[in-house]
Amino acid sequence: MIIVLRPHASKEQIDQVLHEVEVLGYTPAPIHGATQTVIAAIGDERTHANLESLTAFPQVESVLRVQKRYKLASRESHPADTVINVDGVEVGGGKFGLMAGPCSVESEEQLMKTAHAVKAAGATILRGGAYKPRTSPYEFQGLGKEGLRLLALARKETGLKIITEVLSERDVEHVAETADILQIGARNAQNYQLLIEAAKSGKAVLLKRGMSERIEEWLLAAEYLLAHGNPNVFLCERGIRTFETYTRNTLDLAAVAIAKKESHLPVVIDPSQGCGRADLVISLCIGAVAMGADGLLIEVHPNPAEALSDGQQQVDFAGFQKLVASIQPFLQAVNKSAA
Ligand code: E4P
Ligand code: PEP
């Protein structure tokens, strides 16, 4: 870190800061200018104390970070793309992951029909919420354990891998018995105790970006998973809250490019939550593939008009087939193949 002292700080004031920098575990290297002194504090900022507290001294003007706050998630620590192997299905690097299925698991018939349809169109991972984070307590909350049983049945029948959301720490163990990938939703994106438990499950984790989460906070949330021993982390951009009303959320494609640059972790896009409109999903998928995303998480329903959650943003089977066909030329252009 760099500590900038105020002009004309006295020798005693400079020595006081040099001493404190040492107490906090860094080696201080002062640079004395004509009127101002700057101190380089040498040490790993990510594991040593944060020196911003030194601004409590009146002689300290500012403290600047040099290193990023995330370490394990950064490309600096791991230059090559991470490829996650989900029980035989690889995602990351040149392998594109197509995850699709209903917003909510509603019934055996609905799930099985959807699982067969998305598999036939090319998906390798089936999504479906058994526990639903609903805004209103009066709206469909998911089938819970019965939903997990149906997801396990769908995997048995189709061979598709399963991604499903876990809402609370107390559910991690039993959701992980069914899930191949645990989904941490936007509403829990910074629930650190849940992240730690999910990391310990040993299952791959797809971490959504929170609705008002900065990219740095998102990467630091991923850092929790990595720091607790789970290297299999997908970052998922699903749109953020903005002033725009034509879409439910604003899909932040710049975040995809930034996450790919900053981190080695595979980046997945959820265009369904990202805009909340089925008619825009294909365009956003094409954009996401062109931007370098490593996978898509798409909501598909046999009859979206009758869906128990988020019908407005789910595509039907024909829509999903069209979507998969539409992204093919773009996948080829970026040298990726669907896993
Ligand atoms: C569905 O996946 C979520 O539970 C849903 O988007 C939450 O939104 P709502 O409850 O406000 O409809
Ligand atoms: C979901 O994918 O089912 C979901 C609830 O998404 P998000 O957390 O992005 O709102």
Tens of pLDDT, residues 269-326 = 999 999 999 999 999 999 999 999 999 999 999 999 999 999 999 999 999 999 999 9
3-state helix, strand, coil in the chain (%, to 5): 40, 20, 40
The minimum-distance atom of ligand 1 relative to the CA of 103 is: 2
Same domain, 44 and 156: no
Minimal-distance CA residue to ligand 2 atom 10 = 186
DSSP, collapsed to helix, strand or coil, labels residue 41 as: strand
Q: Is residue 101 a part of any domain in this protein?
A: yes
The minimum-distance atom of ligand 2 relative to the CA of 183 is: 2
Ligand 2 pocket test: pick from 238, 241, 301, 313 the residue with the most ligand atoms within 8 Å of its Cβ.
238
Same domain, 268 and 149: yes
What integer pLDDT is reported at residue 277 of this predicted model? 97
Concatenating the DSSP letter of every residue in 205-238 gives EEEEPPTT--HHHHHHHHHHHHHTT---EEEEE-
Same domain, 147 and 199: yes
**pLDDT tens digits for 215-273?**
999 999 999 999 999 999 999 999 999 999 999 999 999 999 999 999 999 999 999 99
Q: Is residue 164 a part of any domain in this protein?
A: yes
Residue 226 to residue 222: CA distance in whole angstroms: 6
Same domain, 37 and 102: no
Ligand 2 contacts CB of residue 103 (under 6 A):
yes
Q: Is residue 79 a part of any domain in this protein?
A: no
Ligand 1 contacts CB of residue 311 (under 6 A):
no
Q: Is residue 71 a part of any domain in this protein?
A: no
Minimal-distance CA residue to ligand 1 atom 11 = 135
Q: Which two tokens stand for residue 306?
A: 């009758």
Minimal-distance CA residue to ligand 2 atom 8 = 185
The minimum-distance atom of ligand 2 relative to the CA of 133 is: 5
Residue 224 to residue 22: CA distance in whole angstroms: 28
Average the pLDDT over 126-139 and give the result: 98
Q: Any idea which ligand is nearest the CA of 183?
A: 2
Residue 165 to residue 14: CA distance in whole angstroms: 53
Strand 2-5 with 37-42, pairing: antiparallel
CATH code (residue 100) = 3.20.20.70
CATH code (residue 45) = 3.30.70.1140
Mean pLDDT of the chain: 96
- Predicted TM-score (pTM) of this structure: 0.94
Ligand 2 contacts CB of residue 165 (under 6 A):
yes
With b for 16 or more beta-carbon neighbours within 10 A and e for fewer, the 221-234 pattern comes to bbbbbbbeebebbb
What integer pLDDT is reported at residue 44 of this predicted model? 87
Ligand 1 pocket test: pick from 105, 135, 143 the residue with the most ligand atoms within 8 Å of its Cβ.
135
The minimum-distance atom of ligand 1 relative to the CA of 136 is: 10
Same domain, 164 and 308: yes
| C-alpha of residue 310 to centroid of ligand 1, in Å | 6
| C-alpha of residue 322 to centroid of ligand 1, in Å | 25
| C-alpha of residue 135 to centroid of ligand 1, in Å | 6
Q: Any idea which ligand is nearest the CA of 308?
A: 1
Same domain, 56 and 97: no
Ligand 1 contacts CB of residue 186 (under 6 A):
no
Ligand 1 contacts CB of residue 187 (under 6 A):
no
Domain-terminating residue out of 35, 64, 93: 64
Q: Domain total for the chain?
A: 2
Q: Is residue 70 a part of any domain in this protein?
A: no
Residue 324 to residue 118: CA distance in whole angstroms: 10
Ligand 1 pocket test: pick from 103, 132, 165 the residue with the most ligand atoms within 8 Å of its Cβ.
132
| C-alpha of residue 307 to centroid of ligand 2, in Å | 15
What integer pLDDT is reported at residue 339 of this predicted model? 67
Same domain, 172 and 32: no
Same domain, 171 and 44: no
Reply yes or no on whether the pLDDT at 38 is more than 90.
Answer: yes
Domain that holds residue 48: 2-64
Ligand 1 contacts CB of residue 310 (under 6 A):
yes
ipTM exceeds 0.95: yes
Q: Any idea which ligand is nearest the CA of 239?
A: 2
Average the pLDDT over 29-42 and give the result: 95
Q: Is residue 74 a part of any domain in this protein?
A: no
Q: Any idea which ligand is nearest the CA of 188?
A: 2
Concatenating the DSSP letter of every residue in 268-312 gives EE-HHHHHS-GGGHHHHHHHHHHTT-SEEEEEB-S-GGG-SS-GG
- Residue 200, φ and ψ in degrees, nearest 5: -70, -15
What integer pLDDT is reported at residue 266 of this predicted model? 98
Same domain, 58 and 90: no
